[in-house]
Amino acid sequence: MKTVQDYIRTIPDFPHKGIMFRDVTTLFSDVRGFRIAIDQLLHPYAGQPIDKVIGLEARGFILGGAIAHQLSVGFVPIRKKGKLPGKTIEQDYKLEYGEAILELHDDALQAGEKVLLVDDLLATGGTAEAGIKLIERLGAEVIGCAFVIDLPDLGGRKKLESLGMNVHTLCAFAGT
């Protein structure tokens, strides 16, 4: 029986030499692989009180929307700066070379709401940490962080767990 990892294609030297890019589009395009991933991502949270699913740009939107549908809850995107209309709050975070900014609508969450944060890949944890900070600034509570892929050598899981987060991943790949 195939696992989620079996559906993920690895592309060497993309986007830079030495990077092993883990391509989840092959997972998303296979009906069985996509169903397995969604079911396994939401499984630990079934029956827990969840008000919203938060997806990090961009592949987190695909996963988060499907999970929100399965849980019968709302979906909220966290986007790169300048992509959301209306009033937003923002959080900067570090990239390998430089910084970037994420935004969230300032009325997307209510104080006390319980949310599940979702993305395709956990690397250094910088993007997820920025998302968590945005969520918490609106007074909501992150009950878990779910990712398809963990790159444990980059330390993202440890970073999020040190923030008190419950981290759930479906598979791991060594290296970068």
Active site residues: 59, 96
Nearest Cα to Cα of residue 120 among 33, 49, 47, 48: 33
Count of residues for the chain? 176
Q: Compute the distance between CA of residue 132 and CA of residue 47 in angstroms, rounded to an integer.
A: 22
The backbone torsions φ and ψ at residue 45, rounded to the nearest 5 degrees and listed phi first, read -105, -5
Quick check: 97 pLDDT over 90?
no
Quick check: 96 pLDDT over 90?
no
Q: Dihedral, CA atoms, 90, 22, 165, 111, nearest 10 degrees?
A: 40
pTM of the model: 0.96
Q: Categorize the per-residue pLDDT at 95 as very low, low, confident or very high, splitting at 50, 70 and 90.
A: confident
**Mean pLDDT within 36-56:** 97
Structural domain boundaries in the chain:
48-168
**Mean pLDDT within 109-136:** 97
CATH 3.40.50.2300 assigned to domain 48-168? The reply is no
Tokens 């791991």 locate to 172
Give helix then strand counts, H and E, for the chain: 5, 9
